[in-house]
Amino acid sequence: MFLIEPTVFGDSRGYFMETYSAREFQEAGITKAFVQDNQSRSKKGVLRGLHFQTRHPQGKLVRVTKGTVFDIGVDIRKGSATFGKWDGAILSDENKQQLYIPEGFAHGFVVLSDIAEFVYKCTDFYDPGFEGGIRWNDPDIAVEWPIDSNMEMILSDKDKVQPLFQQYLAGNR
């Protein structure tokens, strides 16, 4: 995964920044072409993930245009040195950072602000027939979600029943 901090040019009128430059991304080793852009809006406590595609895996360049989220990726590439490990970052409209999550990673985020708008570019098209997931609170992966005890967690019905990591592995040998 790569944390990307764009150069922001600001003055009394506001700011300007490049959110994507193929040349700069290629120089950083991100060579896949992006084919689809997605956007979501969610309220505080919404947790989406951990999602991936078993075929046509998607690399994702994610950023927040309004609010704050904690965004993570979990390496599910068998044989990888970081297999089963997670990494994450706080992304917000204030810090303007972006996170690149490569193909072969499960992805998820939780909204920490009242509202968050989340935008991401994908390296392949979404295919619902090959969608997969792992439970967000899997004890083996042990993501350290920054959730306080007062926060109401809001999950889709699908995300509430995703398999644990070991169950996913047992079903995909």
Say how many domains are in the chain. Answer: 1
CATH number at residue 141: 2.60.120.10
Whether the per-residue pLDDT at 148 is higher than 80: the answer is yes
pLDDT digits (tens, 9 = 90+) for 50-62: 999 999 999 999 9
pLDDT, position 155: 97
3-class SS letters over 86-141: EEEEEEECCCCCEEEECCCEEEEEEECCCEEEEEEEECCCCCHHHEEECCCCCCCC
Residue 160 pLDDT grade (very low, low, confident, very high; cuts 50, 70, 90)? very high
Catalytic residue numbers, as ranges: 51, 120
Whether the per-residue pLDDT at 13 is higher than 90: the answer is no
**pTM score, whole prediction:** 0.91
Q: Which residues constitute the domain of residue 96?
A: 2-171
